[in-house]
Structure 1
Amino acid sequence: MSDKNAIAADPKHLPAFDLNTAAWLGAKAEGVEIATLTNTAKAPGLPGAVPVLLKRGTAPGVEGLERLLEPYRQFPARKTGQATAQTFEAFCNLTVRHLTDHSAIFANMDWKKPTLTAVIDYHELAEGHANFGKHRVHYAFPLSEEWQKWVAGDGVKMDQGDFAWFLEDRVAELSSPTEEEKLQYERDFATTIATPAQLVELSRGLQVNVESKVKASTTLQSGEGQIAWEETHSGADGKPLKVPGIFMLNIAPFFMGDKVRIPVRLRYRPAGGKVVWFYQIYRPDQFITQHVRDVLGEAREKTGLPTYEGTPEMPA
């Protein structure tokens, strides 16, 4: 029997070496191997095991496979990103297309910039597991040009000529009060409520007297104001002008949205022989907030999802 065969048959003849020698020999070996890294700590939210790349040789180590495989990805690992809907209908359609059993809709109720956001991958209810919340559909109520002009001019003082032209340009957004509105607002504000025709008459009277000096300004028993000028022609018909204290807007605050009826207080102040005019939209936050709540209820009906007034806890 040869020496080689004798050594193989009898392990006592093998040369002795320790663990350091084995490690050195392993490090000298070349090559890579796909191994499994087990989540022995049972950390929540992590998989039970993941594949890794085990490298041997002069620079041994462990490396994740994701970086190597990512260039060959055929589709994303999960849905992410935020779709922006330009209409409420598009918001509902996109939400329905992607929704899951755990999706939810959040409404930002800021009346100046309200929004709806559907979080498609929201948290699970049954098992209580958290989700990423990175797939969303967003709808920012687009403000109409008409509403933006009224809000921009709210409380801004105007001279007589500018205010007269403002009323003429915005006459399409004015509305006659209903009987219920007439009773409510004339009682609450102790003044008369104007029709669009009365406001047009007022604006034309203001244009006639744009260069005139105020002779007298009085408040009538009805709550109306009355302005007389030094010239004989105080109004378009030669009479002192009566100024109502309130009028109604019938306007769509949001582009292609439903119209909302909002009362507006009409104000003026005599100053140095002239009159300064301005208006104040009465509690626009209440009217717009209620409108957003109505739209939120409609979204709940169309999508079948739970709705919340607020914002999701995770960032977009």
Structure 2
Amino acid sequence: MANTNHTPVDAHAIDLVSKLAVESTLPTLSTISISGLGDGLPSSVPAAFDRKEQVFRSVKGVIEEYRTAPARRRGAATVDTLSSFIDLTNRHKDEHSALFGKTSWPDPKLTAVLNYDANGVAARYRDHRIVYAFPLTEEFKAWVSFNNKGMEQEIFAAFLEEHAAELSSPTDGERSEYERLFKEKMATPSEVVALSRHLEVHVKARAKQGIRLQTGERTVEFAEEHVNAKGDPVVVPGIFMVSVPAFVDGDAVRIPARLRYRVQGDKVMWLYQLYRWETYLREQVGHDLKKAATDTELPAFEGSPEA
């Protein structure tokens, strides 16, 4: 006869074994003391112990998913005007904030590092910033774009009419300085516009013959004279002043420009040369850096902050 006796199954024991098997694979949340391991660290950190892999794992990512507010301020705001740069810096600065100014062309920039380091305090992240990259005005871009490029008279006249508001009469000091520097007459805005509109230049060639008495050789020298329709010599002022805001909502930058013309056949080709315009921009950026430092009451440094 078959044995029909069975050991009774203990359901509670089975549940207990199953529970223990599951718990043996679940991570355990622990607190690890790290006090004294370095500056900028908390006294302890939470960690999950993975029993299956026998390693500790960070729980920071899991915790961050439930954050309702940022741990700290960070990021870079970009502004388009100096006044906005100053106002926003004043809104977020603290006693250790600092300003940096990169004044060289072609990419001048002011940067406020709001969480900057300071002597005697713990290092900070330096990643909360405000940047003002000096966006150029369309007017200034146009003057730089056509700088030192020949233009036919009608094109040059149209350019000056379009930008007549940026032509400026020289001050007495500017007239004295630049006329002495360039050895040429400085023009008023109306004189420049009138020249570009109405000047007619004719080329008059003349020859001068000479004989060298010692050898009997003959020499002939040719020269060109530029005269107007009446036959009078053409007198063209050599300098004029440009006064144009280089940066959006910024102050006007005053730049002397040398005026030149060339006769090509029956056409007059005009060009202007902005004198050391990069230097004038650098001076303007330096001036704006000083203004920002004054208005924010923060230390300012020429250069760029740490990356």
TM-score class normalised by the smaller sequence: 0.7 to 0.9
Shift of 1:79: 1.2
Structure 1 residues 169, 242: CA separation in 2 closer, same or farther (over 3 Å shift)? farther
Residue 287 (1) aligns with residue 287 (2): no
Shift of 1:27: 11
Shift of 1:94: 1.1
Residue 243 (1) aligns with residue 236 (2): yes
- Paired residues of 1:92 and 1:302 also in contact (CA < 8 A): yes
For residues 24-71 of structure 1, the C-alpha deviation after alignment (integer angstroms, 9 at most, x for no partner) is x99984544322223367244433321111233x44431111122121
> What does residue range 56-71 of structure 1 map to in structure 2 within 5 Å?
56=51, 58-71=52-65
Shift of 1:240: 5.5
Amino acid at match of 2:103: M
1:95 to 89, 92, 95: 89
- Paired residues of 1:91 and 1:137 also in contact (CA < 8 A): yes
- Paired residues of 1:177 and 1:248 also in contact (CA < 8 A): yes
For residues 47-101 of structure 1, the C-alpha deviation after alignment (integer angstroms, 9 at most, x for no partner) is 3321111233x44431111122121111112211111112211111111111122
> What does residue range 140-289 of structure 1 map to in structure 2 within 5 Å?
140-206=133-199, 209=200, 214-215=203-204, 227-228=226-227, 232=229, 241-289=234-282
Q: Which runs of 5+ in 2 are unaligned?
A: 1-19, 207-224
Give 1:296's aligned residue: 289
Give 1:134's aligned residue: 127
- Paired residues of 1:27 and 1:60 also in contact (CA < 8 A): no
User: How far apart in 2 are the matches of 1:97 and 1:312?
Assistant: 20
Shift of 1:178: 1.2
For residues 136-192 of structure 1, the C-alpha deviation after alignment (integer angstroms, 9 at most, x for no partner) is 111121211111100111111212221222222222111111111111111110000
2:65 partner SS: helix
CA RMSD of aligned residues (A): 2.6
User: How far apart in 1 are the matches of 2:202 and 2:128?
Assistant: 63
2:106 partner SS: coil
- Paired residues of 2:26 and 2:50 also in contact (CA < 8 A): yes
Give 2:37's aligned residue: 42
Residue 54 (1) aligns with residue 53 (2): no
User: How far apart in 2 are the matches of 1:59 and 1:162?
Assistant: 78
Give 1:6's aligned residue: none
Structure 1 residues 249, 199: CA separation in 2 closer, same or farther (over 3 Å shift)? same
User: How far apart in 2 are the matches of 1:116 and 1:242?
Assistant: 45
1:69 partner SS: helix
For residues 212-233 of structure 1, the C-alpha deviation after alignment (integer angstroms, 9 at most, x for no partner) is 754479xxxxxxxx8425xx46
Shift of 1:194: 0.1
Amino acid at match of 1:286: T
Residue 118 (1) aligns with residue 112 (2): yes
User: How far apart in 2 are the matches of 1:91 and 1:216?
Assistant: 60
User: How far apart in 2 are the matches of 1:41 and 1:216?
Assistant: 92
User: How far apart in 1 are the matches of 2:117 and 2:62?
Assistant: 31
| TM-score, normalised via structure 1 length | 0.77
Shift of 1:300: 0.6
Amino acid at match of 1:270: V
| TM-score, normalised via structure 2 length | 0.79
Amino acid at match of 2:86: C
1:302 partner SS: helix
1:185 partner SS: helix
Identity of aligned residues (%): 42
Aligned length: 270
- Paired residues of 1:202 and 1:242 also in contact (CA < 8 A): no
Shift of 1:288: 1.2
User: How far apart in 2 are the matches of 1:297 and 1:147?
Assistant: 23
Larger RCO: Structure 1 or Structure 2 (Cα < 8 Å, ≥ 6 residues apart)?
Answer: 2
- Paired residues of 1:215 and 1:273 also in contact (CA < 8 A): no
